[in-house]
Structures are given as structure tokens and as C-alpha cells.
Amino acid sequence: MTLMLHAGGEAIAFDDLRTLPTPDPTASHVPVPHHAVVDMVRYALGFFGHELLEEHHAVTPDGMNYFGVLSLRSPHGDYTDMVGLRNSHKKQFPIGIAIGSRVFVCDNLAFSADHVIRRKHTANAKRDLPGLVAAVIEPLGAQRQALALTYARYKSLALSDEHADQAIMAMYRLGIINLTRIGDVVRTYEEPPHDWGGKTPWRLFNATTYVLTGRVAENPAATRRLHEVIDGVCERLT
């Protein structure tokens, strides 16, 4: 779960979100209760058949800013997709909903994923937000299925040391890893800390994301480039 609390945020149970006060609206700012944002996303996920596996919530000490991450049980494999949330009652940032295989939410205001919705706290926010949430979550099932097929392909192909070396150098050239991380990726690939199976593109993909924990999550473009490298390896192997 990629919910980072570095700037004073405090973990809170979902039910306790309902006890937090919501400021009165003004002509230009209409706060949406933190629990209402979570409820909208939970409802849309359930409506479109996604099962919640785990959730974490946090607020700033004054209760004015909210941050959360929900993980979804995958029917396709041994990984999870995630939904990141944030909400502010003091105009610090708009309502945010982030969806992807890698989501990064931090109380220092870092917020990124494959798909992100942002909505200002206006008089129309409560009216428009459910539709926006549904529009993003509706195609999520097809996206998750496509990703599962990609990962299955990564797992199905044997990866020679030569092709692994070429892929790691391609990561360096594309700026996915820097010079000092090359050795880390090689060591993690050769001696993985988790069971990622034999030497396959799947193992190399996981070794790289393990080494870059946090860094890849903060930079969705790096995740896209990593997939391009691993996809290229698979093309050469077939």
C-alpha cells in the first residue's frame, strides 16, 4: 500500500472519518466530507464488480486534509490494483482520485497514478463527482484484464542472461534507473527477496520495481517506460 505519511499525517479508521466536522460552505468553496469521497469510490468499485482487499486512511492533525489508498483483489493473478484518494477542506488541493497498478499518495501532497481525476470544491462538485468517478472506474475491469494478460506473458517466457543484461542497459539509457541502481537491479534479479519464479521478464520487472520502490510510484512515466522495455524483451523472445 503506497500511502506515505511524512508530513504529520495520522492514520485513522474509516468509521472515524464520519466523526470529523466539515466546514460550512461559502460562495466559492463547498467542502465535501472526507467520508463522502470514500463512500462514492467504494460504491462505484462495488457497482462495477471490484472487491476491496485492504484500505488505509489518514488525516492531518486538524482533520482538514485527508489521504487514503484502497487496494483491490485481483481475479487475474498475484498482484493488486490500487485507488488513491485525497480531499482538502481548506482549499489546499482539489478532490483527487487516482487509479492504477502503482499509486503514490503522500501527505507531502505527492499524488500520482496511471489515471487521476481532480475536482475543485465548487457548488457543482457533489453533483458532478459521482459521474466522474463512475466514468473512470467503469473501464477499469477491462484495463485490469489486459494487464493480467501482459503479466501472464511476462511469466511465460524464459529470459537469458544476455537478454536480461540488454534490458537493464535499456532501462539505464531511458532514465528508468541511474548508474548506481544497475548493480542493485542485477543483484535483486539474481537473488530475489521474494518468489518471482525462474528467470523470466516477470522476475526482471519485479526486481526493478522492488529496487525503485517509491521512485517508480512517484513517476508514472517511469512505469510506462519500464513496461516498454519489458514488452520489447518479450517481442524479441517470441
Q: How far is CA 228 from CA 53, 87, 93, 210, 225, in A?
A: 29, 33, 32, 17, 5
Q: Does residue 152 belong to any structural domain of this protein?
A: no
The reply to whether 29 and 87 lie within a common domain is yes
Q: DSSP class of residue 202?
A: H
- Pair 105, 214: CB distance under 8 Å: no
Residue 217 scores a pLDDT above 50: no
pLDDT at 216: 47
C-alpha cell at 74: 485481483
Nearest to 121 by CA among 84, 88, 83: 88
The one-character DSSP state at 193 is S
C-alpha cell at 189: 534479479
> Does residue 68 share a domain with residue 39?
yes
- Tell me: do 175 and 218 sit in the same domain: yes
Same domain, 62 and 174: no
The pLDDT value recorded for residue 164 is 97
Which residues share a beta bridge with 58?
A: 11, 67
CA dist 94 and 78 (Å) reads 33
Do residues 29 and 68 share a domain?
Answer: yes
Does 228 reside within a domain?
A: yes
Q: Is 119 in contact with 110 (CB distance < 8 Å)?
A: no
98 belongs to a structural domain: yes
Tens of pLDDT, residue by residue over 5-39, are 767 889 999 999 999 999 998 888 888 899 999 99
66 with 37, same domain: the answer is yes
pLDDT number for residue 79: 62
Total structural domains in the chain?
2
Pick the range with the lowest mean pLDDT from 131-145, 146-160, 199-213.
131-145
Best CA proximity match to 115, nearest among 130, 137, 93? 137
Position 112 pLDDT exceeds 60 = no
Closest to 85 measured CA to CA, from 94, 97, 93: 97
Q: Each residue of 126-160: b (16+ CB within 10 Å) or e?
A: eeebeebbeebbeebeeebeebbebbebbbebebe
Q: Is pLDDT at 219 greater than 70 in this prediction? A: no
pTM of the model: 0.67
Same domain, yes or no: 80 and 187: no
User: 104 is in which domain, residue-wise?
Assistant: 3-144
DSSP string for 149-192: HHHHHHHHS---HHHHHHHHHHHHHTTSS-HHHHHHHHHHHHS-
| CA 80 vs CA 74, 108, 121, 138: distances in Å | 6, 24, 30, 17
- 218 backbone dihedrals φ, ψ, rounded to 5°: -75, -15
Helix (H, G, I), strand (E, B) or coil at 134: helix
Could you tell me which residue, 38 or 104, shows the higher pLDDT? 38
27 & 132 share domain: yes
What are the pLDDT digits (tens) for 181-204? 999 999 999 999 989 999 999 999
pLDDT band at 101 (very low <50, low <70, confident <90, very high): low
Q: Pick from 144, 167, 191: which residue ends a domain?
A: 144
Section 151-165 average pLDDT? 95
